[in-house]
Amino acid sequence: MAPPVRALLFDVFGTVVDWRTSVAREVTPFLAEHAPGTDPVEFAAAWRRRYQPAMDAVRSGARPFTRLDILHRENLEAVLADHGIDPAGLEEATLDHLNKAWHRLDPWPDSVEGLRRLKTRFIIAPLSNGNIALMLNLAKRAGLPWDAILGAEVAQAYKPSPAAYLRTAEILGLPPEACMLVAAHNGDLAAARRCGFRTAFIPRPTEYGPDQAKDLLPEQDWDFVAPSFPALADQLGCPPA
**Where in 215-234 is the site for its own copies (CB under 8 A)?**
none
When the beta carbons of 23 and 150 are compared against its own copies, the nearer one is 150
Stretch that binds its own copies, among 33-41, 50-58, 130-138, 189-197 (CB under 8 A): 130-138
Kind and range of the H or E element at 198? Answer: strand 198-201
Site for its own copies in 96-125 (CB under 8 A): 123
Q: Which residues of 124-142 are buried (b: 16+ CB within 10 A; e: fewer)?
A: bbbbbbbbbebbbbbbeeb
- Nearer Cβ to its own copies, position 7 or 232? 7
- For its own copies, the closer of residues 124 and 183 by Cβ is 124
Segment near its own copies (CB under 8 A), from 38-46, 128-136, 189-197, 205-213?
128-136
Q: CA 15 to CA 224: how far, in whole Å?
A: 15
- Smallest separation (angstroms) from its own copies to the CB of 100: 9
Q: Which amino acid is at 147?
A: D
**Looking at 136, 163, 190, 231, which residue binds its own copies (CB under 8 A)?**
136
Q: Taking the CB of residue 6, how many other CB atoms lie within 10 A of it?
A: 17
Specify the amino acid at residue 61.
Answer: G
Kindly tell me which of 40 and 176 has the beta carbon lying closer to its own copies: 176
Taking residues 146 to 165 in sequence order and writing x for each that binds its own copies by CB under 8 A, - otherwise, the string is xxxxx--xx-----------
3-state helix, strand, coil in the chain (%, to 5): 50, 10, 40
Q: Is 132 in the site for its own copies (CB under 8 A)?
A: yes
**In the complex with its own copies, which residue's Cβ is closer, 78 or 174?**
174
- Binding window for its own copies (CB under 8 A); candidates: 26-34, 36-44, 132-140, 195-203: 132-140
Query: Rounded distance, CA 67 to CA 55, Å?
Result: 9
- Cα angle 126, 131, 137 (rounded to 5 degrees) comes to 75
Q: Which of the residues 52 through 91 are near its own copies (CB under 8 A)?
A: 69
Burial of 118 (0-12, 13-18, 19+ CB in 10 A): buried
User: Phi/psi at 167 (nearest 5 deg)?
Assistant: -70, -35
Binding mask 13-52 toward its own copies (x if CB under 8 A, else -) reads ----------------------------------------
Q: Let me know the angle formed at the C-alpha of 69 by 65 and 73, rounded to the nearest 5 degrees.
A: 110
Number of residues that bind its own copies (CB under 8 A): 20
Helix axes 132-142, 68-82, angle to 10 degrees: 80
* Residues contributing to the site for its own copies (CB under 8 A): 69, 123, 131-133, 135-136, 139-140, 146-150, 153-154, 171-174
